[in-house]
Chain A
Amino acid sequence: MSLLEIDRVGLRFGGIVALDGVSFAVERGQICGLIGPNGAGKTTLFNCVTRHYTPDEGTITYDGRDILTVEPHEVIGLGIARTFQNLGLFELMTVRDNVLVGAHHRMTATNFVTAPLRLPGVRAEERRVRADVDALLDRLDLTAVADRPAQGLPLGTLKRVELARALASQPRLLLLDEPANGLNHAEVEELQDVVLRLREDFDLTVLVVEHHMAFVMSISDAVVCLNFGQEIASGTPDEIRQDPAVIEAYLGPDT
């Protein structure tokens, strides 16, 4: 059984058909690239998986479970974490606190009664999670900026903070929305490495939206291409590179 199954998912906004019967599956341990021109519906599909949008039709199954039955804040508890196309960081919080919020769902001993009283369970949990988070910060080269507010740090750093925050939830499925956007050449190369190694070390399955073709093609095991909400091709990176429909979608019909 695949980890994530998108089955004939459709969603329209007024007159705009953002998703039109999209179906594909992401296998366990796979890195799956999701490409397509601007407005193709890639981010909308992410928002459906994280429950911020509810599709008009179709089903989304994660690990054999119908995801459309859970609340948006419960999605991360299933093991699905994401990053945002335009960064969704908490700007005035420190880098460390941002990443700690990623561990929110697994800190069940701390609530509005136990936290003010700082009961022993709260302290133990906080200590444990802080150790995890410090290890993640170290791994993503963020220790030096850990106590700085996110606001004002360079984009490359912020992208790593967002990645660390997603990883702090200990996900099984990681959704990355244009992780390479805005990075320079060296940073993109480094990111390829990081994603591949994170998959090994944390047993991740990754669905990644990206316009940077060299990046997607080099890390993906499979690629799905959307255009105007429809799935126009899927296959290995090599197949996709040569697919006439994909070439046409990107270059226009007359070239």
Chain B
Amino acid sequence: MTWRERLRDPTTQRWLRIAVFVAMLGIALWAPFYFTPFRVFQFTRVLIFAIAVLGLGLLTGFNGQISLGHGAFFAIGAYTAAALMEKAGWPFLLVVPVALLITFALGYGVGIPALRLHGLYLALVTLALAVVTPPILKRFSGITGGAMGLNIDIPQAPAWTGLAEDQFLYLLALVAAIAAFALARNLVDSRTGRAMIAIREDELAAETMGVDLARVKTLAFAWSAMYAGLAGVLFTWTIGFVSPESFTITLSISILAALVVGGLGSIWGALLGAAFLVYLPSVADDLNQAAPGIAFGALLIIAMYVFPGGIAGLARRLWGRLLAPPRAPAPATAGASTEEGGEP
């Protein structure tokens, strides 16, 4: 066997995957004890955004429904956590199921009108959702603290763990991210995930094959919104402060941009896109101090050109090239098609 053949072997690939996963997990667990609190805080932000990007990926990348309003679900998750912890004095872990439930239900609700909207129209309606979120948050100041926002106590590690605050928050985000990625991977690799992709590819054919379009699309929206909600909860925990200014339209657009850069239709692309989102602004800042926003936008556009399938797509192509035998095998089919019609 050549090394290429050995790499192509399914058992080898399986072991490789496991090895990569274990190595990554090892690095992820070691990182918070090695890097400075500032770095660890950045990693935490990457993990949080990765969850939101992954959620949007399920909806847009796999199911073909665009959303420019995921910042709204992120905000609702964040505010649910903040209000329950600050106003009702709940312990921080208890807010998770409530925030997930609320964002799931809201996502389902938005998924219903979305059934009748496609492409640009869906983009516009969800965009409106992102636009109205900050004013609504300001309006209900009894719960949300209005324009002033809400301060909460950042969750602290139990004393026996000996963890510093940044390490504890990082590990919370890591656990949440691992769960989110594992669940998403299982979903995508199942009958239900195939139905989601089939809808993206051809709704009519999917329906003919027995896919209940309305059910799958609304539930995909609900799951996707719930992921954004989870990211919102983690955001509140780590920042300790929520205000309407944190959840403007920029947030929604950033999540979508990260998804595109990371790679639509790829689970791991979400992590890469989130890293891009967190680190790019500092790169952009160095490039052009006068207008970091413009440099950021330019870098985004360049990234989309350089990696058309996202960073994940690029990695897949390189990996494919590495595995490809020197000569492409002949297509194994029963003969070329001809366009000759069979008219009587």
Contacts and interface: CB of A to CB of B under 8 A. Distances in A.
Contacts of A111: 192
Given A111-B192, A115-B186, A144 B332 contact: yes
A164 B46 CA distance: 43
B201 A104 contact: no
Given A73-B210, A73-B211, A105-B210, A182 B191 contact: no
A110 B206 CA distance: 17
A23 B191 CA distance: 38
A184 B333 contact: no
B192 A112 contact: yes
Interface in A152-206: 153-157, 160, 165, 169, 180-184, 186-188, 190
Contacts of B340: 182, 184
Interface string A78-98: 000010100011111100010
Nearest to A108: B191
B212 A145 contact: no
Contacts of B343: 211-212
A77 B210 contact: yes
A186 B202 CA distance: 30
Interface centre among A73, A97, A169 (most CB of B within 10 A): A73
B156 to A, nearest CB: 31
Contacts of B223: 112, 116
Nearest to B180: A116
Contact of B195 (A104, A118, A144): A104
A190 B212 CA distance: 35
Contacts of B206: 90, 101
A190 B333 CA distance: 13
A181 B334 CA distance: 16
A90 B198 contact: yes
Given A91-B201, A126-B190, A153 B331 contact: yes
A6 interface: no
Contact of A141 (B198, B334, B337): B334
Given A88-B205, A88-B208, A104 B337 contact: no
Interface string B195-226: 10110011011111111110000011011000
Contact of A105 (B187, B197, B209, B341): B209
Contacts of A110: 190-192
A75 interface: yes
A135 interface: no
A246 to B, nearest CB: 10
Nearest to B334: A156
A101 B337 CA distance: 25
Interface centre among A52, A89, A104, A154 (most CB of B within 10 A): A104
Given A101-B195, A112-B187, A181 B341 contact: yes
A4 interface: no
B289 interface: no
A180 to B, nearest CB: 6
B337 A190 contact: no
Contact of B334 (A118, A157, A182): A157
Given A156-B334, A157-B334, A184-B338, 16 more contacts: A50-B208, A75-B208, A93-B197, A102-B209, A110-B191, A115-B186, A154-B331, A156-B335, A165-B209, A169-B209, A190-B334, A211-B343, A211-B344, A212-B342, A213-B344, A215-B342
Interface of B: 183-184, 186-187, 190-195, 197-198, 201-202, 204-213, 219-220, 222-223, 265, 331-344
22 contacts: A50-B208, A71-B212, A73-B207, A74-B210, A76-B209, A89-B205, A90-B197, A90-B202, A102-B209, A104-B191, A115-B186, A115-B191, A126-B191, A156-B334, A156-B335, A156-B337, A157-B333, A180-B342, A181-B342, A182-B339, A183-B337, A211-B341
Interface of A: 50, 52, 71-77, 82, 84, 88-93, 97, 100-105, 107, 110-112, 115-118, 122, 125-126, 129, 141, 144-145, 153-157, 160, 165, 169, 180-184, 186-188, 190, 210-215, 250
